[in-house]
């Protein structure tokens, strides 16, 4: 076998080292960027989960508000019916009072 003469001068060696250093620096930057992207994705996912949870809570609040409004409407209708029934009883009592008054006037 023939032995190859592989000679690199100082300048070429320095260029190779500079290239390797630049390459390593770029690899580190890429790893840092990838790590940052992963962190941002995790934060984004967490934020989306929180927003979804809050949206669900808001939906529950809206349902409760609707239920309260419906209850208030029913309560108002019930109060209205009771008020009308009391007014009817009052009219009947007033009519009975007049009849009793008329009866006593006729008999005295």
pLDDT tens-digit readout, 19-32: 999 999 999 999 99
pLDDT tens-digit readout, 32-66: 999 999 999 999 999 999 999 999 999 999 999 99
pLDDT tens-digit readout, 64-102: 999 999 999 999 999 999 999 999 999 999 999 999 988
Residue 3 has pLDDT above 70, yes or no: no
* HEC readout, the chain: CCCCCCCCCHHHHHHHHHHHHHHHHHHHHHHHHHHHHHHHHHHHHHHHHHHHHHHHHHHHHHHHHHHHHHHHHHHHHHHHHHHHHHHHHHHHHHHHHHHHHHHHHHHC
Residue 16 near residue 8, CB atoms below 8 Å: yes
pTM of the predicted model as reported, rounded to 2 decimal places: 0.49
Q: How many CA atoms lie within 13 A of 95 on its CB side?
A: 6
């Amino acid at each position: 076998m023939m032995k190859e003469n592989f000679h690199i001068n100082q300048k070429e060696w320095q260029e190779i080292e500079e290239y390797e250093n630049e390459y390593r620096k770029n690899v580190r930057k890429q790893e840092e960027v990838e790590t940052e992207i992963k962190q941002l994705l995790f934060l984004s996912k967490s934020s989306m989960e929180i927003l979804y949870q809050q949206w669900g809570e808001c939906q529950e609040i809206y349902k409760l508000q609707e239920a309260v409004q419906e209850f208030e409407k029913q309560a108002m209708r019930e109060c209205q019916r009771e008020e009308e029934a009391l007014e009817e009883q009052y009219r009947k009592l007033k009519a009975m009072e007049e009849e009793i008054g008329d009866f006593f006037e006729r008999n005295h």
